[in-house]
Chains A and B, each alone.
Chain A
């Protein structure tokens, strides 16, 4: 066995340029492939985390009617008590109440449809990071009359800036139109342009006053210890409050669930295609090597090298060709992903386009260690597959004809 391995290793280096090209191609292919996978995964994970942390939360609680109609009258009965009970549920880190109205934000020059969210300024940042996404002003830290925080995109559309007044118009609980002027005290910017254009934040006390009510809660946003545990926790909450609609982030934002579940599949499909392409290159090289060494293989079989050993020699050569480059590629991609994952890749040149799709402009590639292991296994499988055909070709040689081959 050792003799076969030794000869196989030496055979690989019989044509150093050709083997070098194949090994380099495998290394670069694996390197680039894994890095692209890490980059894509990083983008998706970032978007997922960003959206969960910024505005979706891990679990949302509404009345079933509010989920479909979004009417002010569809508030959570006895909201304060529900909120208190939810905060005590195991696995819950924090829960915040929102009062929500749908209306219009208008400036002197323009109007835009908006979701008006009434928040508790002190509690908001315990669940969502929106208060930290301000590019100007503050998140209701100054005691001013009717302050509002709007998105940068909306400010641009309305042609307003810090200190400007905008009018928010919406229906109250009796279906009458009510409106009030608010002064801009903060401008936020998330990685999702569409969200920034369509949401304005005011104090829930102000919104309740305008609605003619007191402490109305339409939405409770919950942060759990682990986002992936949210469905299980939501299920328990749903049992506790059967008349309410308790939705995990996967139900609130199905596109995020799709993103989360398909990214793994995409990674494997992409890497399978890449590894197969590399395997075809290796098959080609091995077929050329066998063609060149027909006479030698004939001699080996003539003098008594059995088929098992010939097969083993070709398989070992294929493995060497694959497994000099593959570990290097995996190692370099691991280093590259670690480095770029720490410092990020700045894509601010295309920030606007990325933002339209909810992606940030600095991408932090990331890939679980398990993927590296799986990719290494895929390479083993590909090397085995790519060895079979050349090895069968070699076994089909008839020594008497092969020896005479020029």
Chain B
């Protein structure tokens, strides 16, 4: 059974003078443990699709069902709780909380879930260890490189034990070495712990490592390949 099921998703932005058809009847199923890249040129609808899957935006038409829950039936506050418990996010610009250390950034998500201090502490350490930042746990984001910050973001995304992780162009701001390092970590987590990752990217280095590639163009899926 797929953990993500989108059915005939259409998204039309009407804020501009000319309505923009960002997604046009996208139907997509993602199974648990996939390592999927959503690719396509700029404006193809990658980020829009990711935002809709993540419950950050709502479709104009169509349904999005995650773990048997239709997101369209949830209220705003229910959607926030749902995101907290089901979805991990990795953003292009890292978006860590600058006043917290790496450890505190990871713990923060678990604290929002109401987990015990001990559990937060232990899991944060374990996750930061898994992303190779055991020596930088008490550093603030400003004291970390871009690659290290993105690894903290991955650890944070995993902290809530989500059903899957959405990563919007996670390597866009990273150099080659950091990109390779980050992809290694995510791939290992996918292979060893069966964590589902879905990327939006046009970075060939990410596309090369993906096990499934969904290609979008003009808001439609034009190709869906599994490697």
B109 within 8 A of A: yes
Interface residues of B in 160-213 (CB under 8 A from A): 160
B85 within 8 A of A: yes
A3-B111, A295-B93, A299-B91 known; A305 vs B80 contact (CB < 8 Å):
yes
A399-B56, A400-B57 known; A306 vs B80 contact (CB < 8 Å):
yes
| Stretch in contact with the other chain, from A6-14, A89-97, A129-137, A341-349 | A6-14
Q: A303, B109: Cβ atoms under 8 Å?
A: yes
Q: A299, B80: Cβ atoms under 8 Å?
A: no
List chain A residues, Cβ under 8 A from B97: 7, 296, 300
B17 within 8 A of A: no
Q: B99, A7: Cβ atoms under 8 Å?
A: yes
Of all chain A residues, which has the CB nearest B84?
A: A304
Q: B83, A304: Cβ atoms under 8 Å?
A: yes
B35 within 8 A of A: no
A3-B111, A10-B100, A403-B95 known; A303 vs B89 contact (CB < 8 Å):
yes
List chain A residues, Cβ under 8 A from B91: 299, 403
Q: A302, B89: Cβ atoms under 8 Å?
A: yes
A295-B93, A399-B56, A403-B91 known; A304 vs B99 contact (CB < 8 Å):
no
What is the interface size of chain A, counting residues whose CB is below 8 A from a CB of the partner? 21
Give a binary string over A385-406; 1 marks a CB under 8 Å from any B CB, 0 the rest. 0000000000000011001000
List chain A residues, Cβ under 8 A from B112: 3, 303-305, 309
Q: A302, B98: Cβ atoms under 8 Å?
A: no
A300 to chain B, nearest CB (A): 8
Of all chain A residues, which has the CB nearest B168?
A: A403
B221 to chain A, nearest CB (A): 21
A307 within 8 A of B: yes
A309-B112, A400-B51 known; A302 vs B83 contact (CB < 8 Å):
yes
Of all chain B residues, which has the CB nearest A1?
A: B111
Q: B80, A301: Cβ atoms under 8 Å?
A: yes
Q: B95, A295: Cβ atoms under 8 Å?
A: yes
B22 to chain A, nearest CB (A): 12
Going nearest first, the 7 A-B pairs with the smallest beta carbon separation are: A304-B84, A10-B99, A299-B95, A400-B56, A3-B111, A400-B57, A306-B80
Interface CB pairs A-B, < 8 A, 26: A3-B108, A3-B111, A3-B112, A7-B97, A10-B99, A11-B99, A14-B99, A295-B95, A296-B97, A302-B54, A302-B56, A303-B83, A303-B160, A304-B81, A304-B84, A304-B112, A305-B80, A305-B112, A306-B80, A307-B76, A307-B77, A309-B112, A399-B56, A400-B57, A403-B91, A403-B95
